Amino acid sequence: MELSGKTVHELSAMLRSREVSSVEITRDVLARIAAVEPQVEAYITVMGDDALAAAEAADKALASGEPQSPLMGIPLALKDNVCTRGTLTTCASKILANFVPPYDATVAKKLREAGSVFVGKTNMDEFAMGSSTENSGFKKTANPWDLGRIPGGSSGGSAAAVSADMCIAAVGTDTGGSIRQPAACCGVVGMKPTYGAVSRYGVMAFASSLDQVGPLTKDVEDAAIMMNALAGHDPLDSTSSPGAPPDYTSFLNKDVKGLRIGIPKEFFGEGLDEEVAGLVRGAIAQLEKSGAVAVEVELPTLPYGIATYYLCATAEASSNLARYIGMGYGARVEADNIIDMYTRTRSQCFGPEVKRRIMLGAYALSAGYYDAYYMKALRVRTLIKRDFDQAFEKCDLLMGPTMPTPAFRFGEKTDNPLAMYLNDIYTITTNLAGIAGISLPCGFTSGKLPVGLQMIAPAFEEGRLFTAAHAYEQSTEWHRRKPSL
C-alpha cells in the first residue's frame, strides 16, 4: 500500500480505524524520501530516527481511545527557517550551517502538540530570499514534474516534498509569494494566511511586516486541517491577532452560488503566458458554472508592487540580518580584530542574493535616501491596501494567475534579478496589504507543467478562500495528478 501518496484526511481516517499505524505511514514516507531525494533534493535534514520515535508515541496516543487531532501520527515537513528544538535549522545559509535551536518555533510546538511526526527540514532560498530555491547555500531543489526546472521559491523544498509524496503535508513561509508561487510550480495547494493569523515566533525573520507562515498540502481539505493547527493567538508574537480563529474545515462543502469573484484586469496584461491565461480563465468559468458571478475590478497600483516590495522588504532584511555577525551563534570567520571578523564572516557566509538585498535595504534607509525611497514606498503600500479595500467592496474574493509563467528552467533568470523579481508580480501585493491568498492547481500546459490559480480574500476571511477553492477542486481532477519519478 502506497501510504505516502495519500492525503492528511485519508490517513487520519485510516489511523482511527486501525487500518494502518503511524509507524507504517512514517516508514513508507521515509522509504519514499530515500528513493527520490537524490533526484529532487527537497531536504536539508531528514529526521528519520526522531520521526519513528514520534510515530511510536502517536500510535500509543491513538490506542488510548482518547479524541485526537486529525494530524496525530501524520508525517510532515518543515521549512528550514522554522526553529526546531534539538534539530539543525540553517535557513539554507552557510552562516547557520551548524545552528541547533534550543527551542521550538510556536508553529512547530503546535504541530508537535497535535501529534504530528516531523520527517525533515526542507530546502529553501537562503533566508527566504528568492523565487526559485536556486539561492540555497547548500543545494538546488528540482521540480518533481520536470527535474530540469525550478520548484519555485522560497519554499521550494516544502512544495517539492509534498508534490513528490516525500511528506504528507508541509509548512512554508510567504513574504512575497513564497508559499503560493512554489505551490503553483509544483501542482499543490499553498495557503498564505492573513498577517497575524499564524505566529511568527521562532521563525527566522526576513521582513517582519510581510512574513507569514502557512501550509502546503495535496488538497484544499488538508490545508484547512493544517490551518486549524497553525492559527491562533500567541503572546510571544506581538503582531499575533488576539481573535480566536474559526474551524477552517467548516467552510468546506459549501455552495458558491452568488459568490462574487473579482477579476482584476491588471492580472491579465502584458507578460502573462497565453496557456496560463487560458487555464485560469477556464477555472473562473468552471466556478461560474457552479453559480459564482464574475465581475471586473481594478488594482491600479499593481504595477508599483514590485518596486514597493523590494524597498520595504530589503529595508527590513538589512535590519533583521544585522544580527548575523559571528557572535553568539552561527558561523564565525576569525580575524585579527572584531571589525574584520564581522566583515569576513558576512562576506564569506552570506550568498549573493542575500548580500544584494542587504545592500539595497541599507541604501534605501541611509541618510539622504530614506525619505526619497523607503518613506515613499510606505506611502504606496498604503495605496495598494486601499486598492484592495475598494476592490472588495465589489466582490467577495479576487481571482487570477499565481504566476505569469509555468516553472522556468534552472539558470534561466539567475543573471537577471529584475526578471526573477517580476515572477512574483501577482503575489507580492497580497503581502503588502496583509491579506489572505491561496494557490491551487488549475491545469497543465502542453509541456505537462502545472499551473496555479490564485484566490485572494480580505483580512481574516480565509473561509471564503476555502469555500471557493474546495468547490473548484471538487469539480476537477487536477489535484489528483502525480509526477512520475
pLDDT in tens, 380-409: 999 999 999 999 999 999 999 999 999 999
pLDDT at 228: 98
User: Averaged over 36-57, what is the pLDDT?
Assistant: 98
Same domain, 230 and 349: no
pLDDT at 241: 97
Q: Is residue 278 part of a domain?
A: no
Which cell numbers hold the place of 384? 495598494
Same domain, 221 and 334: no
Residue 264 bridge partners (DSSP): 297
Active site residue 79: yes
2 vs 466 pLDDT, higher one? 466
Number of CB atoms found within 10 A of residue 327's CB: 12
Residue 409 bridge partners (DSSP): 149
User: Averaged over 429-442, what is the pLDDT?
Assistant: 98
Same domain, 127 and 213: yes
Catalytic residue among 116, 136, 154, 439: 154
Q: Is the pLDDT of residue 43 over 70?
A: yes
Q: The CATH number of the domain where 212 resides is what? A: 3.90.1300.10
Strands 169-173 and 213-217: antiparallel
Active site residue 154: yes
Q: Is residue 434 part of a domain?
A: no
pLDDT at 416: 87
User: Averaged over 93-122, what is the pLDDT?
Assistant: 98
Same domain, 367 and 218: no
Instruction: Identify the DSSP state of 408.
Output: P
Q: Is the pLDDT of residue 22 over 80?
A: yes
**Domain endpoint, select from 231, 255, 279:** 255
What percent of the chain stands above pLDDT 90? 95
Torsion angle in degrees (nearest 10) through CA of 267, 272, 278, 281? -10
Active site residue 240: no
pLDDT at 229: 98
**Domain endpoint, select from 339, 357, 374:** 374
Catalytic residue among 79, 109, 192, 413: 79
Same domain, 324 and 221: no
Same domain, 68 and 215: yes
Which cell numbers hold the place of 214? 502557512
Q: Is residue 356 part of a domain?
A: yes
Q: Is residue 437 part of a domain?
A: no
User: Averaged over 126-141, what is the pLDDT?
Assistant: 97
pLDDT at 186: 98
Q: Is residue 480 part of a domain?
A: no
What is the rounded distance in angstroms from the CA atom of residue 374 to the CA atom of residue 380?
Answer: 10
Residue 12 CA: distances (Å) to CA of 60, 145, 196, 449, 474:
15, 27, 28, 30, 20
What is the rounded distance in angstroms from the CA atom of residue 216 to the CA atom of residue 190?
Answer: 4
pLDDT at 1: 57
What is the rounded distance in angstroms from the CA atom of residue 103 to the CA atom of residue 336?
Answer: 33
Same domain, 247 and 173: yes
Q: How many domains does the chain have?
A: 2
Same domain, 165 and 229: yes
483 — pLDDT class (breaks 50, 70, 90): very high
pTM: 0.97
Q: Is the pLDDT of residue 8 over 60?
A: yes
Same domain, 211 and 320: no
Q: Is residue 264 part of a domain?
A: no
pLDDT at 379: 98
Average pLDDT, whole number, for the chain? Answer: 97
pLDDT at 70: 98
323: containing domain: 303-374
Q: Is residue 289 part of a domain?
A: no
H or E element: which one contains 287? Answer: helix 274-289
**Domain endpoint, select from 217, 236, 255:** 255
Query: Per-residue pLDDT tens for 331-368?
Result: 999 999 999 999 999 999 999 999 999 999 999 999 99
Same domain, 241 and 312: no
User: Averaged over 421-443, what is the pLDDT?
Assistant: 96
Same domain, 355 and 248: no
Same domain, 42 and 113: yes
Query: Per-residue pLDDT tens for 176-234?
Result: 999 999 999 999 999 999 999 999 999 999 999 999 999 999 999 999 999 999 999 99
Catalytic residue among 12, 21, 155, 178: 178
Q: Is the pLDDT of residue 110 over 90?
A: yes
Q: Is residue 111 part of a domain?
A: yes
